[in-house]
Every structure is written in structure tokens, then in C-alpha cells.
């Protein structure tokens, strides 16, 4: 079992950032609070799970089909999407969609297509795009399966790749089919918005768990970092949440919002992976207690 507040620390840039290391918390302050010490492999969702989570989330998606470059993006956005038992994707479109017409008239039922998913943070934050996933394969129509005026298209998966806050990786179709979405996928956006609006001070106080790395916490204990963050006007925005932990984007102002403002991500691991909202509530309470101690 790991202790609450284990952190990953990465710098934020204009591109999607990968985690560069894990600062563990096996060393404690005199007050018993976590302190970074050394590096180790993070507990993290696999690339297959991250892709499956994006597919089953509310992230925007568009189907890219050769020859339909002139279609409006909204005409190529599925109204609903789901994953079948063998890992295939099922996409619902209006019956008059260009994607439906192309799949219906494709020769030999082989229409190459790519589902591109874009994940945007549900809270306002610098560098708001958290990641993208691409699932390529062959698109066919499934007449008569859905309601009138709609058509169900089946995407047989050939290649999968994801580029997100964890890094870029390819995914084998078999691994994608066997994976499961993160248990918090249906609630993540609402939870992050709630943390940001109702618990902003507590999220900002997590800076104290970073120790002396950014000159905010000193020998006075973990709470000193949170106080220093508030006094310097540092911003802290919860940017991602999964069963393993919470990622926060910290920004320390340098000259009133100038380009020199420094922004970095820190990831705070839960003592144990959570399985539902009740366990998440307990994990967050433990994390906030560690930062306030």
C-alpha cells in the first residue's frame, strides 16, 4: 500500500505532456506528512485502458473517411458510440450522414476510416487539450438495428494509438478489446468541476505535498506549501482524475499573467485504486488531510 500524496511532477508545455518521473513519499516530515524522495514507476492506466476510457467518455469524436474531406465536421461526428464484445466500435449517425452514405455504397464492405477522439479538460486550464486517440479500421453499415432516421455503423478495429498526459503509445486491437474503461469515466468531468469550484483552496493546498521543490514548502511542514501557494497567487486546477489518482496543474504567476508564468503538473496518487465514488470520496479526504496536516 502506498501512502497518500505520492506525486508525479512534470512541466506543462503547449503539447500533450508525458509523465517524466514519480516522486515517492516514503520519507515523512516531522508532522508525518508525505515528502518526495527518489523515483519509481507510477501506478497508471494502460494505454489500452486509456483509449477505451476515451471511447466511452463524452469526449468529442469525428470519423475521418477518404473522399469526404469536404464534409462539415459536424456531419462526421457520431451521435453515440459504444464498444462491442469483440472490441469493435458501434457508431450512430443520422441516416443522411455522409458517413452513412459512404459506408452503404462501399465496395466489398471495405471502407477505411479513422475515429479521432479529442479529450479536452472540463475545467479552464492552460493547454486544455489533454489527449487524442485514433482508432482506424473498416466501416460497414448495420441496417435496421437502430431507430428510424438513424443508422448504426460498425468499425472493425485495425490499429489504435493514443497520445495523452501519460505519453504516446500504440495499442494492439486485442488489448483494446480486453480492456475496460476507468470506473470514474462517467463522473470525471463533474467531479473535476466540483473540485475546482467547491474545493479550490484544498486543491491549492496540495502544493504543500511537493516539499521544497518549488520553494513553497519548508521545514514548517506540508501546510506551509499551501499557505505559500495562496500568498503568491498561485493557481491550482484539477485537470485529470482516474482510479489511481488526481492530476493538478499548478501555475505560479510571474509578473501578472505574463508568458513567463510557470506551469507544471503534479499527480497525487491514492493509497489504493478506487472503484467507485464512495471510495474516491474517502481517498480525496485522506489526500486533503495529508496536505493540511
pLDDT (0 to 100) of residue 293: 77
Span 65-89, pLDDT tens digits: 999 988 999 999 999 999 999 999 9
**For range 34-39, the mean pLDDT:** 36
pLDDT tens digit string along 111-145? 999 999 999 999 998 889 999 999 999 999 998 88
How many independent structural domains does the chain possess? 2
**Do 78 and 172 belong together in one domain?**
yes
Query: Which three cell numbers mark 152?
Result: 448504426
**Residue 20 has which C-alpha cell?**
517524466
Q: Are residues 107 and 63 in the same domain?
A: yes
| Last-in-domain residue among 156, 178, 200 | 178
pLDDT at 145: 82
Q: Which residue has the higher pLDDT, 102 or 32?
A: 102
Residue at a domain's end among 178, 208, 236: 178
Q: Residue 174 is placed in which grid cell? A: 486485442
pLDDT score of 8: 55
pTM above threshold 0.75: yes
What's the pLDDT at 2? 43
25: domain CATH number is 3.20.180.10
Q: What percent of the chain has pLDDT over 90?
A: 63
- Across the chain, mean pLDDT equals 82
**C-alpha grid cell, residue 10:** 512534470
User: Both 172 and 192 in a single domain?
Assistant: no
Given a cut of 70, whether residue 225 has pLDDT beyond it is: no
Q: What residues make up the domain containing 269?
A: 6-45+185-292
* Co-location of 164 and 198 in the same domain: no
Structure confidence at residue 234 as a pLDDT band (50, 70, 90): confident
Task: Say if residue 272's pLDDT is above 80.
Answer: yes
Q: Taking residues 174-196, what's their average pLDDT?
A: 97
C-alpha cell at 134: 485514433
> Does residue 1 fall inside a structural domain?
no
Domain endpoint, select from 145, 178, 211: 178
Q: What is the DSSP string of the chain?
A: -PPTTEEEEEE--SSPPPP--EE---EE-TTS-EE--SB-PPP---HHHHHHHHHTSS-EEEEE-TT-TTS-GGGGS-SEEEE-TTS-EEEEEETT-HHHHHHHT-GGG-EEEEEEEEEE-SS--SS-EEEEEEEEEEEEEETTSS-TTEEEEEEEEEEEEEEETTEEEEE-HHHHHH----TTTTTHHHHHHHHHHHSHHHHHHGGGGGTTTTSS--TT-HHHHHHHHHHTT-EEEEEEEETTEEEEEEEE-SSSS-TT-EEEEEEEE-SS---SHHHHHHHHHHHHHHHH-
Amino acid at each position: 500500500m502506498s501512502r497518500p500524496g505520492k506525486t508525479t511532477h512534470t512541466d506543462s508545455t503547449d503539447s500533450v505532456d508525458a509523465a517524466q518521473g514519480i516522486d515517492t513519499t516514503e520519507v515523512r516530515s516531522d508532522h508525518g506528512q508525505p515528502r518526495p524522495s527518489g523515483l519509481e514507476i507510477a501506478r497508471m492506466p494502460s494505454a489500452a485502458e486509456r483509449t477505451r476510457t476515451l471511447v466511452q467518455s463524452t469526449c468529442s469524436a469525428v470519423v475521418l473517411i477518404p473522399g469526404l474531406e469536404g464534409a462539415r465536421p459536424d456531419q462526421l461526428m457520431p451521435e453515440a458510440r459504444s464498444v462491442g464484445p469483440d472490441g469493435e466500435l458501434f457508431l450512430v449517425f443520422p441516416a443522411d450522414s455522409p458517413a452513412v452514405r459512404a459506408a452503404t455504397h462501399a465496395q466489398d464492405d471495405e471502407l477505411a476510416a479513422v475515429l479521432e477522439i479529442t479529450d479536452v479538460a472540463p475545467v479552464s486550464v492552460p493547454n486544455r487539450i489533454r489527449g487524442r486517440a485514433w482508432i482506424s479500421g473498416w466501416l460497414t453499415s448495420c441496417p435496421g438495428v437502430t431507430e428510424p432516421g438513424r443508422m448504426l455503423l460498425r468499425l472493425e478495429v485495425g490499429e489504435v494509438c493514443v497520445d495523452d498526459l501519460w505519453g504516446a503509445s500504440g495499442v494492439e486491437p486485442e488489448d483494446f478489446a480486453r480492456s475496460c474503461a476507468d470506473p470514474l469515466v462517467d463522473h470525471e468531468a463533474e467531479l473535476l468541476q466540483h473540485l475546482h469550484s467547491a474545493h479550490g483552496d484544498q486543491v491549492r493546498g496540495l502544493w504543500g505535498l511537493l516539499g521544497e521543490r518549488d520553494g513553497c514548502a519548508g521545514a514548517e511542514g506540508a501546510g506551509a506549501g499551501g499557505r505559500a501557494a495562496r500568498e503568491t497567487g498561485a493557481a491550482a486546477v484539477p485537470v485529470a482524475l482516474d482510479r489511481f489518482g488526481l492530476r493538478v496543474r499548478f501555475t505560479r504567476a510571474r509578473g501578472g499573467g505574463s508568458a513567463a508564468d510557470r506551469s507544471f503538473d503534479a499527480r497525487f496518487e491514492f493509497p489504493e485504486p478506487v472503484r467507485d465514488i464512495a471510495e474516491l470520496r474517502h481517498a480525496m479526504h485522506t489526500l486533503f488531510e495529508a496536505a493540511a496536516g
